[in-house]
Chain A
Amino acid sequence: MSTQPPSSGTTGKGRWVGQPLRRREESRLVRGHGLFVDDYKLAGMVHLQFVRSPYAHARITHVDTSAAAASPGVLCVLTGEQVAARVNPFIEIGPGCDGKIVDLPMAVGKVRYQGEPVVAIVAETAADAADAADLVEVDYEPLEPVIDGEAAATSKSLLHEPLGSNVNWHSQFEYGEVDAAFRDAAYVVHIPRLHFHRFSSTPLETNVVIATWNLKEDTIHFLSTNSFPAFAVQFLSPALGVRIDQLHMESWDIGGGFGIKITSYPQMAVCALASKQLGGRPVKWVETRTEHMLASAHGNERTFLDTRVALDKNGVITAIDSRHIDDCGAYPRYEPLGCIIWAQVLPACYRFRNFRVDFSQVVTNKCPVGPNRGYSRMQHLWFIERCLDICGHELGIPTDEMRLRNYIRPDEFPYTTPNGCVYDSGNYPKMLELAKRLVNWDEWKKNQQIARAEGRWLGIGIGTTLDSGTNNFGQARIVNAHAPYSGQSKAAIVKLDIYGEVVVFMGSVPQGQGHETVAAQVVAEVLNIPPEMIAVKPGFDSLQNVYTGHTGTYASQFAVTGLSAIHGAAEKLRAELERLAAFALKAERAQLEFGAGKMGPEVRVRGTEKSINYWALANLVNVNNAELPQSMEDITLNCRYLYKAPFTVPDVEKKYGNLTLTYASQLHIAVIEVDRETFQPKILAYAAVDDCGTQINPRIVAGQMHGATAHGIGAAIMETCEYSPEGNMLTATFSDYTPITAVNMPELLCGDIESPSPFSYNGAKGMGEGGAAPVHTVCAALQDALFSTGVLIRDSFHTGDRIFEAVRRAESGADRGVRVERRG
């Protein structure tokens, strides 16, 4: 184990690293040769269907499953009460819950969100289970639903009565001299309310589980789409009353995840219990699209209240003071981690040092949240971007100039934020310059003048954001001082198989990120052989011993943690091969070089004809090992490396410390016109510049950029998880949720710069989440387009009808929602 990057790192472009190789996974996946969980048809497998609550908040007064139990093909029926009798409540990450929030796999006594599982039916076929589910009768006594996060704290209707309120977590964060900064400010901008809407992800594949409880061995095998199985076992093990070594977790091909598949463990537990009840038959559950939209996990909704921004006479922000309410839905699950994860990017890309926020998280009668792409940081980054943008408009400072005055400067990196995070590298002015050039800024500025003269609403907006990657789990201690988490680690195995094949096990859970390809590139670089000569085994299998408690695919980190582990393991293998080859070739190690010869990968003596291929080297260890001297008995050619990120535990009292290792950045510019007849926003031009440090594979980086940008544009103008006042989710189908497709995408003018991270062995920074740059950018462009109408962009979601309402509200003379205090 090491806390330092391996010594012979391959930074920058190499023969393989840095090249835009095609993804080796593509052919398999695009041709339909992937193996997804629903593709498995196991002997004796049966199917599970949930009966879900139509109510957001109601007491369950009666459950009658007799007709369902007698339905053809039905094997067992489990009610929430029956499940509760067989499991322990899931652990809570938050402090002080002590049973005040009881999170069980299914509803017991009352339901807390529409779509919450109430009964599970297991039948021989999925159709039998679905038919039987229709026969279940559940009587409910409706309770007052708590839908509005802002009202939740004071609502008399409680979701979890023992908690005594709907507030799940609350604390104050304060850094610098906030009061002094406001006292000395030239301007104070008051923004009473900003709101970041609830949206989610729409992976091609929904959640799927196959659970098999082997009664003879008392082990449970899970094949699932869970993207953080090492985390899931920490919840499943105590809930099911088994040791972690009794859980065999496998995740292979996954059709997208974006974080929201991390919290699928409740359904996994129900499948396991059903399997046990059925004597160990495999139980499969395949989530429908509507179930996924309704009841899997959504992104956090957040409201920012009573915000004050202090600025000096030049429009430089000196302090922000605000009150934030995060809405985590009915059960915290991964929360309240979101109550601290935003602090990874506390000042966003800006230099202000004084900051105070009163942060609360509330529970509401909506789908529980999960760590959706850009988790918790994007809400905060959007807030800071809105503050900056609104201040710029109010003070008459051009939006590009406003940013330049406030950006952290390139020569200030590594930059320590007010709360102790260390931004590794970056150059935001350079990114702005490139984005302006790509989008043809000056030309659009002229067009904007013409458009405005014609009475058209055309705006140009900038969004600068961060993608903080490789998180320090020690931040969990800030939300719960007793949380037994800290640091970050990943494991990998690179080995030479019996006949000399190079095989990589990485234990990650890719969902389209191209891990197989970049892993092969890194190992190819170390061994100086083509990537095609390297077999990479993707996916997670707890029996492979290639994981840690942090292993999973989340938080933009594979390029740093995953590749560091793979690189470390490859270096160890290289060292063993070198020792063996020196012995076999009777040469000094310094004389040896690695490469590929006529007989495959080999090690040769430089400047001679002497060489030995990997088959022969593997043979020496695995088959013909009596020839080896005792000094080489430690050589296994099976090299495991554990990468541990260089973190320390944050200061819990001061809420201070480095929470993330790398900070990729994105800078987007959008030109948007709002149609004055339909109020529909139309993107006329869009530039996206990315800086993820050294790129391992530019083609994959470009793909991630396109994906993240599409996700963000969809979130800004198409996608919302909308609830009625009764708690009905009104956008639980694709026809209502309208996820973005290629047809809706503008042409992206892409660019990148590389600011290598000094904290990763390869200069790479984690990327892929994208920091929700388009949400910030679209809002900024709309603000620019509509500022003259009196509209203040206070929300993150903007369809034509919402813009129509905002314009009408402004035209009616309603309070614009911002006030500027000018001093002197």
Chain B
Amino acid sequence: MGFTFQGDFVVKRKPEEVFDFLSDPSRFCPLLPDFEKMTATDASHFTVSLKVGIAHIRGTATVKMALEEAERPRSARYSGKGSVAGGTVEIGSGFELDAVPEGTRVRWRGTGQVFGQLASLAGGLLEPLARKNVQRLIDSLQTALAQA
């Protein structure tokens, strides 16, 4: 079961400022919906714990993430793989930054793949939940960038 979401928004920040924010896991990860904690392994590898809950399936997802690509000030890309009760989740999120007169246009793309019982147990609920959480992430990101 896979999802892909994408969109863009404009913030009143220079691309370098936006890039520095997005490529810093300690600033980016707390914006993830239901973030609990983050443990860094090295500069580009870290583990994030998220509270998750879909219908009666509730628990903590431990997602091993990596900053796969960071090209200042043009793009950043994260990938992650984690386990949660009843399944495995693979996620990816990428950002491409363009300078525009108002500041920076952030073109974002998020992908998700769910494997295991989670997909069958919560099949119909996953897509709207993912859509909601992606929107929450983007909203948080815009707010945080505006305040940064």
Instruction: Please name 9 further chain A to chain B contacts, defined as beta carbons within 8 Å, in addition to the given A727-B115, A730-B120, sorted by A numbering.
Output: A54-B118, A114-B116, A137-B83, A290-B120, A294-B117, A729-B120, A730-B119, A732-B120, A733-B120
B49 at the interface (CB under 8 A from A): no
Q: How far is the CA of A137 from the CA of B82 in the complex (A)?
A: 10
Q: Which residue of A lies closest to B115 (CB)?
A: A54
Q: CB < 8 Å: which of A52, A53, A137, A724 contacts B119?
A: A724
Q: List 27 A-B contacts (CB under 8 A).
A: A54-B86, A54-B87, A54-B115, A55-B88, A55-B115, A55-B116, A114-B115, A134-B85, A137-B83, A142-B90, A290-B120, A290-B121, A294-B120, A724-B1, A724-B2, A724-B119, A728-B123, A729-B120, A730-B120, A731-B120, A732-B117, A732-B120, A732-B121, A733-B120, A733-B121, A736-B120, A736-B123
* Interface residue? A593 (CB, 8 A): no
In the assembly, what is the distance between CA of A54 and CA of B116, in Å?
4
Mask of B105-122 contacts with A, CB within 8 angstroms, 1/0: 000000001111111110
Taking residues whose C-beta sits less than 8 angstroms from the other chain, chain A's interface range is: 20 to 34
Which chain A residues lie closer than 8 Å to B88 at the CB level?
54-55, 140
A795 within 8 A of B: no
Are B116 and A728 closer than 8 Å at their CB atoms? yes
Task: Report whether B115 and A730 are in contact in the complex, using a CB–CB cutoff of 8 Å.
Answer: no
A726 within 8 A of B: yes
With a cutoff of 8 Å between Cβ atoms, the chain A residues found around residue B113 in the complex are 726
Separation of A114 and B119 alpha carbons in the complex (Å):
11
- A670 CA to B87 CA in the complex, in Å? 42
* Majority-rule SS of A interface residues: loop
A91 CB to nearest chain B CB (Å): 31
Encode A732-743 as 1/0 by CB contact (under 8 A) with B: 110010000000
User: Which residues does chain B contribute within 8 Å of A726, judged by CB atoms?
Assistant: 1-2, 113, 115
**Residues of chain A contacted by B86 (CB below 8 angstroms):** 54
- Residue on A with the closest CB to B2? A726
Nearest residue (CB) in A for B87 is: A54
Q: Which chain A residues in 698-736 approach chain B with CB under 8 Å?
A: 724-733, 736
**Of residues 30 to 61 in A, which have CB atoms within 8 Å of B's CB atoms?**
52-56
Interface size of B as a range: 10 to 19
Which 6 residue pairs across A and B have the least CB separation, nearest first? A54-B116, A732-B120, A728-B119, A54-B115, A54-B88, A54-B87
With a CB–CB cut-off of 8 A, which chain A residues contact B2?
724-726
Q: Chain A residue with minimal CB distance to B116?
A: A54
- How many residue pairs between the two chains, A and B, have CB atoms under 8 Å in the bound complex? 57
Which of chain B's residues have a CB closer than 8 A to the CB of A54? 83, 86-88, 115-118
Nearest CB in chain A to that of B114: its residue: A728
Q: How far does the alpha carbon of A736 sit from the alpha carbon of B123 in the complex, in Å? A: 9
Closest B-chain residue to A54, C-beta based? B116
Give the CA-CA distance A142 to B114 in the complex, in Å: 12
| CB <8 Å contact, A728 and B85 | no
Tell me the residues in window 127-146 of chain A with beta carbons closer than 8 Å to chain B beta carbons.
Answer: 134, 137, 140, 142
Per-residue CB proximity of A761-802 to B under 8 Å, as 1/0?
Answer: 000000000000000000000000000000000000000000
**B86-99 vs A, Cβ < 8 Å mask (1 yes, 0 no):** 11101000000000
Please give, as numbers and ranges, the residues of chain B lying within 8 Å of A56 by CB-CB distance.
115
Query: Chain B residues near A728 (CB, 8 Å)?
Result: 1, 114-116, 119-120, 123
In this complex, what residue of B is CB-closest to A288? B117
Q: B93 CB to closest chain A CB, in angstroms? A: 19
Contact with A along B73-91 (1 / 0, CB 8 A): 0000000000101111010
Note all chain B residues with C-beta closer than 8 A to A729: 119-120
Give the contacting residue for B117; candidates A290, A724, A727; CB below 8 A.
A290
Q: Which residues of A contact B116 (CB under 8 A)?
A: 52-55, 114, 728
With the chains together, A3 CA to B33 CA distance in Å? 73
Measured CA separation A728–B117 after assembly (Å): 8
Complex Cα spacing A736 to B1, Å: 15
**Chain A residues with Cβ under 8 A from B83's Cβ?**
54, 137
Chain B residues whose C-beta falls within 8 Å of the C-beta of A731 in the assembled complex: 120
Distance, CA A118 to CA B72, complexed state (A): 42
